Amino acid sequence: MADGVLRIGIVGAGRIARERHLPGFKAIPGVRVAGVCNRRRESSAKVAREWDVPRFFESWEELVEDEGIDAVVVGTWPYLHCPITLAALDAGKHVLTQARMAMNAREAQRMLDRSRESPHLAAMVVPSPLGLAGDRFVRRLIDDGFLGTLREVHVHGLSGMFASRKTPLHWRQVTRYSGFNMLNLGILHETALRWTPPAVEVLARAAITIPARLDEETGEKARVGTPDTVQVLTTHEDESIGIYRLSGVVRHNTGTSIELYGSRGTILYDLEADAIRLGRAGQELRPMPIPESERGGWAVEADFVAAIRGERPVTRTDFLTGARYMQFTEAVARSSRAQAPVNLPLREFSSPDE
């Protein structure tokens, strides 16, 4: 780091980068966004101009190899997460990659393995923003025995974002860009993993309700490549069971939540409103405000910089956690295709086209 300044390069300065990463890094002393690269030169130049970034690059390869960059933020669609991450680590750069971590479990494992070969480099995945406010509070309740023995986990992610046939094709519905990722399955599973044991078996059913949509880039109808409705049954390490209900095509959606049912109590977390309800056995559920002393929030940029500076390790989200949720996502896809249970962790990996 020249003159003690940490120089960040961003590949893919989309909405999250503009709303979160750019202002987040700008607010940290001794950190500067030194370069940016988007899909198009004009877009790269615009971001550089608007955010006072001194350089923009014609290709992500040039940015990664540039000696004036110390750390790379990968803000592209998932199809580029693995190649950019591997190249950045090979070039001796720290890496923060946008979620979802990769296209599939094989890519995620390659990223994890490469990061382990360079333990002096910080390797981090942008965490699920869901539940950050109440994470510490929920974990403290669990650690204090509020739930007792966990029995069931219910995960809901129901929306109408794709309910209309007139809604154009989203890049997340294109397999070559998103891989095995579907709806908000990965982000919800990552959130659930903060409070529940890993799954050891999944049984899934996924479907594409509306098979074709308008591709605004071509002006023609295109095939939808990823499911718009997903239902999953899970069995966990502690023998508790789970139910995932996800859909993008339901009218009058019931929102996004995680419900934890134990032998002694229940914790219901409305992830959209950051509202928690609690209930002991024999008592009614009641709202419970998140204590201000335990309230969390978005700290991605600060956490990444702290990991680079050796102030604290990556805890949310490290590459191991990312690889685990990618294995879960792939297991769901496999189970849906085969209409059979799939065990975790996976013993072998496949690609989205297999």
CATH annotation of 2-129+299-316: 3.40.50.720
**Among positive and negative, which fits the CA dihedral 289, 292, 293, 296?**
positive
Tens of pLDDT, residue by residue over 62-102, are 999 999 999 999 999 999 999 999 999 999 999 999 999 99
pLDDT surpassing 90 at residue 256: yes
Q: Label residues 259-289 b or e (16+ Cβ within 10 Å = b).
A: bbbbeebbbbbbbeebbbbbbeeeeeeeebe
pLDDT of residue 111: 98
Dump pLDDT digits (tens) for 31-60.
999 999 999 999 999 999 999 999 999 999
Instruction: With a cut of 70, say whether residue 206 has pLDDT above it.
Output: yes
77, 321 contact by CB (below 8 A): no
Task: Write out pLDDT tens, residues 17-30.
Answer: 999 999 999 999 99
- In the chain, residues under CATH classification 3.40.50.720 are 2-129+299-316
Residue 344 has pLDDT above 90, yes or no: yes
Q: What angle, rounded to 10 degrees, do the helices at 185-193 and 319-338 form?
A: 130
For residue 2, what pLDDT band results from cuts at 50, 70 and 90? low
CATH for 135-297+327-343 is 3.30.360.10
What is the model's pLDDT at position 350?
A: 66
**Distance between CA atoms of 180 and 88, rounded to whole angstroms?**
24
Q: Residue 353: pLDDT above 50? A: no
pTM for the full predicted model:
0.93
Residues of the chain with CATH 3.30.360.10: 135-297+327-343
- What is the rounded distance in angstroms from the CA atom of residue 179 to the CA atom of residue 52? 34
pLDDT at residue 208, as a whole number: 97
pLDDT, one tens digit per residue, over 157-177 is: 999 999 999 999 999 999 999
